[in-house]
Amino acid sequence: MKALTLALLLCLPLPKLTPPPRAPNDHISQVTRKGGRWYFAATGHAVYCYGPVLLVGERRGGLRRVATFCQGEKPMVPLMD
């Protein structure tokens, strides 16, 4: 009887266990790279940038500090002095 029960149990299909699908991550702050730093932009917002801070010439002849390789749409963001 035990052999018959064991044979029936071994013949049953086993369900495959799969992990639940992960929800897409919409938080940019959680996807950060190493080496980045927060800066205070000239617009009054905080920006997270990976590149160096450079001095770039303005049209009026002055120099402007900009952060490079920032998250978002712009590759360079003018910084607050």
Name the amino acid, one letter, at 79: L
Mean pLDDT value across residues 16-39: 68
Selection from 31, 28, 30, 41 nearest residue 67 by Cα: 41
Domain that holds residue 76: 33-81
Find out whether 67 and 76 touch, Cβ atoms under 8 Å: yes
pTM score above 0.75? no
Identify whether 14 is part of a domain: no
Token duo for residue 64:
């402007």
Mean pLDDT value across residues 53-57: 91
d(CA 54, CA 62): 13
Identify whether 53 is part of a domain: yes
Identify whether 8 is part of a domain: no
Mean pLDDT value across residues 13-31: 65
Identify whether 4 is part of a domain: no
d(CA 41, CA 44): 5
- φ, ψ dihedrals at 48, nearest 5°: -110, 120
Identify whether 13 is part of a domain: no
